[in-house]
Structure 1
Amino acid sequence: MHQHTTIATAYDVIIVGGGAAGLSAALTLGRARRRVLVIDSAAPRNRFAGHMHGVLGHDGLPPLDLLEAGHRELERYDVTVTTGTVAQVGDIVRGLKVTCADGTVEYTRALLLAGGVDDELPDVPGLAEHWGDTVFQCPYCHGWEVRDRRIGVLATSGSIAHYGMLLRQWTDRLTVLPVGEAGTAALRDMDEDTRARFDARGIRLTGSPVTEVLSSGGTLTGVRTADGSVHELDALAVVPVPRPRDSCVAGLGLDRTQVPGSGSFLTVDPAGRTGHPRIWAAGNVVQPWLNVPMSGGLATMTASALNLALIEEDTDAAVRATEPHRGRPEIADDGYWESSYAGARPRWSGRPNSALVDYLTRYLGEDATGGAAHAAGAAGAAHAADIGCGEGADAVWLAAHGWTTTGVEVSGTALGRARALAEKAGAGDRVEFTADGLVGYSDAVNSGTRPRPDLVTVSYLHSPSQADRASLLHTAGDLLAPGGHLFVLSHILPGDDSGAPADAGGHGSTGPDRAAAVSTVPGLAPEDWTVVAGGAPERDEILPDGSVARSRDRALLLRRR
């Protein structure tokens, strides 16, 4: 049952965000002859500012004018820019599925997040109305325009000492005023040495927190504090809290780093790669303190690194296509799988198969361990075995959800990656891996060396090692005690999902159609099994030619009688 339909053509890279970072990356990738889509929310961080400064060759240019020029420059390359918001990013085989808020779906080999941040200002009436003009954050960007004028610095945290000293470079009429409890505490608890440094530079400190920003005719005139005092000022400097626009990848569980005073940001390596092999990030979305030229420059570097990663993948595919034996043998020896893994970078994203997660959580319950243990009549924690576990994503998911898990493989390289994934996920004490293969694992179970599993999962056992497919599936099923569950997922089993409806109403049925469903699995005798659920889940993958194919797999969750 390996049927697929071409549904789209994938982009090489989708860039989320069309600001300075996103367009700079698009320019680099377009000139590298990559097919690129930029999805832009049309709300750049600096849209509140009438002019940008500190940008060589463009000092004083309105920021939106820079983006318009960027759009014109991209027209000569294979880059498409569209307006929209990315709602969700999900894994597919050899790529990513990108879903927009309006329901539009695109596919890509790689994703570059460059959407920037939203600046969260202190909740002070009147403050937001002047943001980007006489209320500013970066003195390098806006300090010159308010030089020698009366500037107030709003203290929102303990970092005020550094920020206040920085602003002193632009004026000698500087007043530091607290905002909120954190700012009030920061000034109240300021040490004597810091106070002395402020006094030496003529910086005035006030203890009463700001309650309102005052203006006249649209011009900022000062602030009012809680004690009723009015402080006449011409501009205010404040450090807002940056909120990264990365919610579209929240479901992927990417590593994050806590940035003091700023919050949680995606963790990236020096080239901008996240913990996901196909997702990169650049600009303010990972480094909120970058200005326009720094964001653009680092995004260009990240785009270059991303292009190199795609080149390596293209080269790997070309080498495989020219090998004398392109296909997998019907029975591959252990060395075949080891060379297959050792000769390539990690293949998978580290996330479990969605069909496996769906079936086990729906039909064994949210507490899958309890459901399996009850069904198997087991006491204590239930045991699971993931046969052909590869780089370990499914086995680690089982362990993370309470199973005492064994991942069974024949490739030492794959298991090294699986163990690293387990440790990273904090599941290393609940999952172990064996390179003895199914035959060795079965011998250990039957001899009592290893516990008999309550659940066995077998996903995509297309070119098995050690024996033919029917023998291996028979061995996998035979591991289970009566009442145990076997989950089989494949794209080569015959049949469709008729007679095995994927709903809870199918539990326990033993009619002839159900027997026919079991008979499609080589090595299994229908009389030994009850179909819990079955179906034909869809799976998208990006083929080497860039086309996106949608396949229908075969999934069966069986209970041994």
Structure 2
Amino acid sequence: MRAHDIIVIGGGAAGLSAAELLGRARRDVLVIDSAAPRNRFAPHMHGVLGHDGVPPLDLLDKGRAELDTYGVTVTTGSVESVTEIVRGLKVTCADGAVAYARAVFVASGIDDTLPDIPGLADHWGSTAFQCPYCHGWEHRNRRIGVLASSPMHFHYAQLVRNWTDDLTVFITDATVLSQLDDATRQRFDARGVTVVTSPVAGITATDGTLTGVRTEDGAVHPVDAIGLHPHSRPRDGFLAPLGLDRTEVPGVGSFVAVDAVGQTSHPRVWAAGNVVDPRANVPTAMGQASMTAGMLNTTLVTEDTDNAVHALTAPSSHHDWPEVADDGFWETTYAQAPPRWSGRPNPSLVRVLTEELGGAGTARGRAADIGCGEGADAVWLAQQGWDTLGVEVSATAVRRAQDAAAAAGVDGVRFTDVGVQGLADAAATDGSAPFDLVTASYLHGPSQGRRSALLLDAGELVAPGGYLFLLSHVMPDAAPEEYGAVDALGFDDDTWELVRDETVDRAVIGLDGEVGGHPDRVVLLRRR
């Protein structure tokens, strides 16, 4: 299987705009669309220059037709999860279909949940609307009601007043009524806005046409249209495995956080449109998506160039590696290449340690990450509360790890380039306290003759009652149930208890775009 450059999740105005720009940039793009755009209930869209009054689905049909010119593939499906793999992401759909990409562009939008008012849903998208800029003109100078289910909607009502002289605000909740202060009442009175405090009981209609709002006191208040703010929920549950940073929008909800150019806290996940900004109308979402897609393409261009430069100096195959990859080899490997890893902790390490030792907030001790590379796992351990030491043999890797910790604003993590042997020697010489957790991920290289000895040295750094976590695809390759991992790795059964032993598939996107993989062994031991 070959990975796409980018998978766009969502085929609305934002997603198709991003896909078109990326297709024109000669990227291999797949769009996965749930075929349920937010504005599908509206018969026409407005305020879209050159397309005013066009049905929103007609715009999307035209957009999909344009994508054919640029070789963009559009499929219909519901994304179940996005998970991290080496050099990319795995996208799994609800029907079991799987696709891979170097990056994902999220434009999946939001779902609007209307207040539970009988009859309201029948008019949603026509005479019941949210955005006055999109639909206010069509209801100008008519009788408009605003449903205020939050104090924030008092400001919304003042906005809607711009389109009509006959505006009624309906307070739908006793809690909201308690926050209707004298200053707000004065502002309503000054603009001739009527306030109804009896709770809303339902919407009245004649032959399908909205005619009024019925309140619990039995009164029916004539209106021709209703403005409201439904509860908006971003369609981003599939991103949960990545643990992205989020932003809490007061009175609205929780949204994936993006920077000024649309990048999330994961370097390979970008987002635009309503999924990150519920206020965005069609032209805003299209503009955001186009700009963000351009920045995404720029990062891939940089990565392409970095990989090309690295290919000039890196060993062309494992046959070019030395018989024993010594400390000098690893320093040269890091020094002659750009950052090698994603900056994200290994998902297997995160999953197993969280399941077995608890998440952030659990009482912690001292941890050492052996072969810490550029520091992602060590930084994650410190974020979970461990007093962490990252151990390497490459000074360049240590500098990058220190920079990563500083960029993340993480305290409680230090780095050293003395290697596991140096750390073990120091512990033996000065009686340094052992660690409550030692981790070693991919502590290997082709013909790494000292691997077994290094792992045993790492084990000696674990205090009684502490844990040793090992992750590698070059451990003994028998299935876990076929042998005892403690014996196979050279550890003493009387000293160590096996807590976890499993094999997981690890997908890898190669520099040529081909998707391959290695089975990883995950072993967690506890020192008796």
**TM superposition score normalised by structure 2:** 0.89
**How do residues 175-186 of structure 1 correspond to structure 2 at under 5 angstroms?**
175-186=168-179
Native 8 Å contact 1:415 1:435 kept in 2? no
Give deviations 1:53-105, integer Å, cap 9, x for gaps.
Answer: 11111111110000111111111222111111111111100001111111111
Partner residue, 1:452: 434
Matching residue's letter, 1:497: A
1:231 to 221, 233, 242: 221
Question: Is residue 434 from structure 1 mapped to residue 416 from structure 2 by the alignment?
Answer: yes
**2:369 match:** 386
Q: Which amino acid aligns with 1:142?
A: H
Question: Of the candidates 480, 485, 488, which is equivalent to residue 470 of structure 2?
Answer: 488
Does residue 545 in structure 1 map to residue 512 in structure 2? yes
- Alignment identity in percent? 54
1:51 pairs with 35, 44, 47, which one? 44
After superposition, give the CA deviation of every residue in 1:114-150 in whole Å (9 maximum; x if it has no partner).
Answer: 0111112222111111110000011111111111110
Aligned length: 520
Pick aligned residue for 2:253 from 263, 288, 301: 263
Q: SS of the residue aligned with 2:266?
A: coil
User: Which residue among 29, 34, 43 is the counterpart of 1:41?
Assistant: 34
Q: How does 1:315-464 map to 2 (within 5 A)?
A: 315-323=305-313, 325-326=315-316, 330-333=324-327, 336-337=330-331, 340=334, 344-345=338-339, 347-354=341-348, 356-357=349-350, 360=353, 365-367=356-358, 383-399=366-382, 403-409=386-392, 410=394, 411-420=397-406, 423=409, 428-429=411-412, 431-448=413-430, 450-463=432-445
Evaluate the alpha carbon distance shift between residue 301 and residue 61 of structure 1 in structure 2; reply closer, same or farther with a 3 A threshold.
Answer: same
Cα drift, residue 209 of structure 1:
2.4
| Deviation of 1:537 (Å) | 2.5
* Residue equivalent to 1:286: 276
Aligned counterparts, 1:88-99, within 5 A = 88-99=81-92
> Is the contact between residue 11 and residue 32 of structure 2 (CA under 8 Å) also seen in structure 1?
yes
The counterpart of 1:129, out of the listed 122, 127, 148, is 122
* CA distance in structure 2 between the partners assigned to 1:554 and 1:339 by the alignment: 25
1:202 aligned partner: 192
Which is further off, 219-228 or 525-534? 525-534
Verify the 8 A CA contact 2:172 2:197 in the aligned structure 1. Answer: no
Residue 67 of structure 1 aligns to a residue whose secondary structure is helix
Q: Tell me, yes or no, if the aligned pair for 1:518 and 1:529 is still in contact at 8 Å.
A: no
Aligned to 1:475: 457
Given that residues 205 and 211 in structure 2 are in contact (C-alpha distance below 8 angstroms), is that contact kept between their aligned partners in structure 1?
yes
Matched residues in 2 for 1:28 and 1:514: separation? 54
Give secondary structure in 1 for the equivalent of 2:265: coil
Q: What CA distance in whole angstroms lies between the structure 2 residues aligned with 1:222 and 1:497?
A: 73
What is the CA distance between 1:496 and its match in structure 2? 1.7
Structure 1 residue 249 displacement after superposition? 0.5
Task: Establish whether residue 501 from structure 1 lines up as the match of residue 501 from structure 2.
Answer: no
Q: Please tell me whether the aligned partners of residues 408 and 436 of structure 1 are also in contact (alpha carbons under 8 angstroms).
A: yes
Contact 1:331-1:468 at 8 Å conserved across structures: no
Mark the CA change 1:260 to 1:347 in structure 2 (over 3 Å): closer, same or farther: same
State which drifts further: 247-256 or 389-398.
389-398
Q: Which moved more, 1:534-543 or 1:320-329?
A: 320-329
State which of 207, 227, 236 in structure 2 corresponds to 1:217. Answer: 207
Q: Would the aligned equivalents of 1:40 and 1:81 in 2 still touch at CA under 8 Å?
A: yes
Deviates most, 168-177 or 158-167: 158-167
SS at match of 2:308: helix
Cα distance in 2, alignment partners of residues 37 and 267 from structure 1:
24
- CA shift, 1:403, in A, is 4.8
* Counterpart amino acid of residue 370 in structure 2: I
Alignment-mate amino acid for residue 51 of structure 2: H
Q: Contact 2:212–2:223 (CA<8 Å) still a contact in 1?
A: yes
TM-score, normalised relative to structure 1: 0.84
Between the aligned partners of 2:273 and 2:118, the Cα distance in structure 1 is: 30
Which residue among 106, 116, 132 is the counterpart of 2:109?
116
Of 261-270 and 483-492, the range deviating more from structure 2:
483-492
Whole-Å Cα distance in 1 between the matches of residues 277 and 222 of structure 2?
34
1:64-83 equivalent positions in 2, closer than 5 A: 64-83=57-76
- Residue 299 of structure 2 aligns to a residue whose secondary structure is helix
Q: Is residue 146 from structure 1 mapped to residue 139 from structure 2 by the alignment?
A: yes
8 Å Cα contact 1:30-1:79 kept in structure 2:
yes
Question: Which deviations, in whole Å up to 9, do the C-alpha atoms of 1:325-351 show, x marking residues without a partner?
Answer: 556654354695487279535722523
Contact 1:156 1:183 in 2 (8 A): yes
Q: Determine if contact 1:150/1:233 at 8 Å carries over to the other structure.
A: yes
Letter in 1 for 2:420: L
**2-side partners of 1:182 and 1:133: how far apart?**
29
2:162 corresponds in structure 1 to 169
Q: Which residue of 2 aligns with 1:254?
A: 244
Find the aligned partners of 1:353 and 1:421 in 2 and give their Cα distance.
Answer: 21
Q: Deviations over 1:348-401 (max 9, x none)?
A: 2523341x3455567xx45599x9xxxxxxxx9554321012243433454556
C-alpha separation in 2, matches of 1:119 and 1:159: 17
- Structure 1: how far apart are the matches of 2:437 and 2:332? 26
- Deviation track 1:275-304 (CA, whole Å, cap 9, x = no partner) reads 000000000111111111110111000110
Mapped to 1, the partners of 2:459 and 2:135 lie a distance apart of: 69
In structure 2, relative to structure 1, the CA distance for the partners of 1:381 and 1:140 (3 Å cut) is: closer
Q: State the alpha-carbon separation in 2 of the partners of residues 305 and 290 from structure 1.
A: 19
Runs of 5+ consecutive residues of structure 1 not aligned to the other structure:
1-7, 372-379
> 1:536/1:195 Cα in 2 relative to 1: closer, same or farther (>3 Å)?
closer
Q: Which range moves more in the overlay, 100-109 or 432-441? A: 432-441
Provide closer, same or farther for how the CA distance between residues 254 and 339 of structure 1 changes in structure 2, counting only shifts above 3 A.
Answer: same
Q: 1:368 to 1:150 in 2, by over 3 A?
A: closer
Partners in 2 of 1:48 and 1:381 — Cα distance? Answer: 52
8 Å contact from structure 1 (residues 126, 214) kept in 2: yes
Separation of aligned partners in 2, 1:99 and 1:324: 33
The equivalent residue for 1:518 is 489
> Structure 1 residues 536 and 169, CA, compared in 2 at 3 Å: closer, same or farther?
closer
Cα RMSD (Å): 3.1
Q: Which amino acid aligns with 1:86?
A: V
Alpha-carbon distance, 1:204 to partner: 1.7
Amino acid at match of 1:384: A
Stretch of structure 1 that moved more, 383-392 or 447-456: 447-456
Instruction: Tell me the distance in 2 between the aligned counterparts of 1:113 and 1:260.
Output: 22
Alignment partners' CA distance in 1, 2:527 and 2:163 = 77
